Amino acid sequence: MKFQSKSTYFTLAILVVIVTGLSLHQKFSITTSALDTYPSNIILFIGDGMGLEQIYFGQLVEYGLSNTSSILSFPYNTTVSTANVDGTTTDSAASATAISTGVKTKNGRIATNWNAKMDLTTILEIAKQNGYATGLVATSHLTHATPASFAAHDPSRGNYQEIAEDFSQANVSVMLGGGFEEKYIGNYISDFETLGYEYVTNETALASVTDVPVLGLFTGGSLPPLQTMLENSTIPTLSEMTIKAIDLLNSTGQPFFLMVEGSQIDWAGHDNDEIYLAHQIIEFEKAVRYVKNLAEQNSDWQLLVTADHETGGFSVKDYSFITEIPLETDSYTEKLDKRTARAQEVDVGWGTGGHTDTEVILAGMGPYTDQILTAEHHIDTFSIMRQAIDGETDPIGSDFYLGHLPLYFYYLIGLSSAALMGTGLYFILKNVIRRRQNF
Ligand SMILES: [Mg+2]
Ligand SMILES: [Zn+2]
């Protein structure tokens, strides 16, 4: 073979560029497994601000050393990174967006990418497109960052009116939480009702609901802290909302996706208030326990528990209990008082009033949850959920985004290195051939 012209060298160099580019594309296209079972029901629990130490603390207060938190006894568990696209410590908006869309973003973003130029399709929306009934349950007002990142798109978590408007068009089957004040969802309640939603504002009315869609807003803003709630309160607890949501979604006959948030674990962390924390984490644990029992009887249910980030730099230092553990047979008030007393009998430490970048739990059971063992970041939680819906793993829009950075960034690196290699090859070949010709 004889190389005759300069154009041959250039053709070779271009070929190298193309082949390198193609192999790079292959490397960054995630393959899909199509053989496993889907669609599966998906129940995702998010403990806002719930670090591992917070979970241990809740276990210690509620069960002592004799029993295990349901959160800590899943067949699969790991810890995952919560870092944002720019490496910064996350807030609830960016982290919920990473979980709900599989794409890392910046603080404040509600299911939009880092520069807010692109709406990111959420797992709830993908579920809906696949015939799922869907639900959101939270103890904050529903326009708050975590639930918002599943059914709204906005550059800023503070744009409650825009988020509420998105909600009113999102066709979520069950929405339970707080926020009937005008600055949250209030202005849009009539829009929900026009669309056929049953709107309820107390526990009794919620209990009588038999069909979806339903909008339950039980407080003007967020739900009150549990330690201040009386037994005869007309506001449902997280467990009560979760039980009702599962009941309603399950009765649709469709597969369902449900996100349940323990919203105020985070606020207890910001306040460095371990009594507030104990009640919130135990309530969250009870809600998980209820669904876990059901998931054990339904092998096609995918149940996941995670946290968006840790709050407070919390640690359990020592404990010396005088108060007995709460018993099932105890009255409402007895349980409440015992939890408060036992929380005070634990010596705890707080490192900050803000969020930390400590890794958080990802635990679960059911279809595809063995992949928890190799999960590294919130965005992997998205992939595990998406597989249970349609067998795919990628975020929608992954042609442009590889999880966190625009894909063209990788192409740019790939193309420039390929161009360099091609140029190098060109000169080597040129030299070799020149020598041959000289012989
Ligand atoms: Mg939250
Ligand atoms: Zn927070």
Same domain, 16 and 163: no
- What is the pLDDT confidence band of residue 81, given thresholds at 50, 70 and 90? very high
Crossing angle of helices 332-344 and 274-297, rounded to 10°: 120
Structure tokens at 111: 């299911």
pLDDT at 35 over 70: no
How much is the pTM?
0.85
- Ligand 1 geometric centre to CA of 61 (Å): 23
Q: Do both 325 and 420 map to the same domain?
A: no
The confidence score (pLDDT) of residue 2 equals 45
**217 located within any domain:** yes
Do residues 67 and 281 lie in contact, with contact meaning Cβ atoms separated by under 8 Å? no
pLDDT for 401 equals: 60
The average pLDDT across 50-62 equals: 98
172 is a domain residue: yes
Mean pLDDT across the chain:
90
Domain co-membership, 391 together with 428: no
Q: What range does the domain containing 284 cover?
A: 36-397
Q: In this structure, are residues 359 and 81 in contact, taking their beta carbons and an 8 Å threshold?
A: yes
- 403 lies in some domain: no
- The yes-or-no verdict on residue 17 having pLDDT over 60 is no
Q: What is the pLDDT of residues 373-417, one digit of tens each?
A: 999 999 999 999 999 999 999 888 766 665 455 555 666 788 888
The rounded Å distance from CA 108 to ligand 2 centre is 12
| Ligand 1 centroid – CA 48 distance (Å) | 5
Ion ligand 2 contact residues with beta carbon within 5 A: 266
Looking at the fold, whether 10 and 116 belong to one and the same domain comes out as no
For residue 1, report the distance from its CA to the centre of ligand 1, in Å: 67
Do 17 and 132 belong together in one domain? no
Which residues are known catalytic residues?
92
Instruction: Kindly identify the ligand whose nearest atom is closest to the C-alpha of 267.
Output: 2
Residue 404 falls inside a structural domain: no
Number of the ligand closest to the Cα of 309? 2
Kindly state whether residues 276 and 416 are assigned to the same domain: no
CATH number at residue 115: 3.40.720.10
* Residue 294 covered by a domain: yes
Specify the 3-state DSSP secondary structure of 54: helix
Is residue 14 domain-shared with residue 125, that is, in the same domain?
A: no
- Is 181 in a helix, a strand, or coil? coil
The structural domain count of the chain equals 2
Asked, for residue 364, whether it belongs to a domain, the answer is: yes
User: Which ligand has an atom closest to residue 310 CA?
Assistant: 2
Q: What distance in angstroms lies between residue 175's CA and the mean position of ligand 1's atoms?
A: 15
Are 134 and 162 in the same domain?
yes
- How many angstroms separate the alpha carbon of residue 11 from the centre of ligand 2? 56
Whether 84 and 143 map to the same domain: the answer is: yes
- Closest listed ligand to the CA of 157: 1
Residue 198 lies in a domain: yes
Instruction: Give domain status of residue 309, yes or no.
Output: yes
Answer with the residue of higher pLDDT: 264 or 8: 264
